Amino acid sequence: MSRYPGESRILVAVDCIIFGFDGNNIKLLLVQRGLKPERGKWSLMGGFLQPTESLEQAANRILKKLTGLEGVYMEQLRAFGDPQRDPVERTISIAYFALVDIHQYEEQLSHEYNAEWFLLDETPDLIFDHKKMMEDAKRQLRYKAALHPILFELLPAKFTIPQLQILYEGIYDTTFDNRNFSRKVLSTELLIKQKEKDKANSKKGAFYYKLDKRKYKANFQAFLNFIPNPDKLLL
């Protein structure tokens, strides 16, 4: 039997919500849709699941097609299955979100899709339910970042604590006390202090740090209580 009798075809799409950090701001990577309907409008990067692919393989294929990226942090968000979400055919979308350091990959973006980075609070109108996907991904990112050190995936190989603080403040749209933030970060013992300083932003300069990847992997589940009052910030 090649098909289940009496059942209709439903397409499965995979959409990628790609967050990036440029050292000062959290941004979202968008492309201009190349298909009708809504051709030329801003969209998340997506595509249809192929018969021989797993969902993870499809998400990685789509991400690489747009950015040239492989091996970046990516996780499944959830399924979006409103019957009217795609006006052409009944399509269920499985959304993933990815985290990248913009400076590391900005030259690899595909010009075929007119890809562009947008500030999270300045994103244009998006097709279909892509705005809902983006909002859900941002909420999930806040939740995960309060429990696990995933935001380090957005940083370059070496970074300063003020730069890390800017990143967390951007994700949670709040301000943290400088000394308390520094103390909590260093208490995780995930950072390796470097000899050189970043003197571009102050005369005194701030020491660079690198992530201890061995401890990062071993202690990924042990990052609780890093964010003060997380329940208030996750809303």
Alpha-carbon gap, residue 176 to 145, rounded angstroms: 15
User: What span, in angstroms and rounded, lies between the C-alpha atoms of 228 and 226?
Assistant: 6
The per-residue pLDDT for 9 is: 87
Identify the three-state secondary structure at position 117: strand
Q: Domain ranges in the chain? A: 11-146, 150-233
Q: Kind and range of the H or E element at 163?
A: helix 161-172
HEC profile of 126-152: ECCCHHHHHHHHHHHHHHHHHHCCHHH
Which amino acid is present at 98?
A
Is 150-233 CATH 1.10.10.10? yes
Token pair in block for residue 109: 């973006």
Q: What is the mean pLDDT of residues 182-209?
A: 86
Backbone angles phi, psi at 187, to 5 degrees: -70, -20
Look at residue 1 and tell me whether its pLDDT is greater than 60.
no
pLDDT in tens, 11-22: 999 999 999 999
CATH class of the structural domain 11-146 = alpha beta
Nearby residues of 121 by Cβ (< 8 Å), 6 or more positions away: none
Question: What pTM did the predictor assign?
Answer: 0.88
Enumerate residues 6+ apart whose C-beta is below 8 A from 148.
Answer: 220, 221, 223
What is the per-residue pLDDT for 3? 76
* Cα 11 to Cα 93: distance, rounded to the nearest angstrom: 8
Highest mean pLDDT among 36-45, 95-104, 209-218: 36-45
